[in-house]
Amino acid sequence: MKHQQLKKVKKLQREKRLEAIVDCNLKNNYNIQEVEMMIQVALLCTQLSPEDRPAMSEVVRMLEGEGLAERWEEWQHVEITRRQEYERLHRRFDWGEDSIYNQDAIELSGGR
């Protein structure tokens, strides 16, 4: 899954807009709780670090209803912390396009 698509799925999941993720050909012929469970498992399987991803045996157990709630809760906490850290760093280093720092970088990158 491409990074932008993954971000979009995460956003839709946070906003509880799961119907936007489901194939429109299903025409509302699906169980929304099962969809939510599958999306949660899929998001756990797409974590950046392979060590953080569940093993296939764990995926099977989660799809059978065992341990997903705990694993999802843990992942949500990590995601919230990660997002807050990203926003904090982004605000700290958001100098803007007309910033003197960006202008210096452009001037330094020219020919000498």
DSSP-assigned states of every residue in 30-91: S-HHHHHHHHHHHHHHT-SSGGGSPPHHHHHHHHTTSSHHHHHHHHHHHHHHHHHHHHHHHH
Query: Structural domain of residue 28, as residue ranges?
Result: 3-108
CB 22 within 8 A of CB 35: yes
How many domains is the chain built from?
Answer: 1
Helix (H, G, I), strand (E, B) or coil at 110: coil
Q: What angle do CA 20, 25, 26 make, to 5 degrees?
A: 80
pLDDT (tens digit, 9 = 90+) per residue, 64-110?
989 999 999 998 888 888 878 878 887 777 655 555 555 445 455 54
Residue 61, token pair as written in the block: 């157990």
pLDDT (tens digit, 9 = 90+) per residue, 10-69?
888 889 888 888 888 887 788 888 999 999 999 999 888 888 899 999 999 999 989 999
Indicate the pTM of the whole model: 0.67
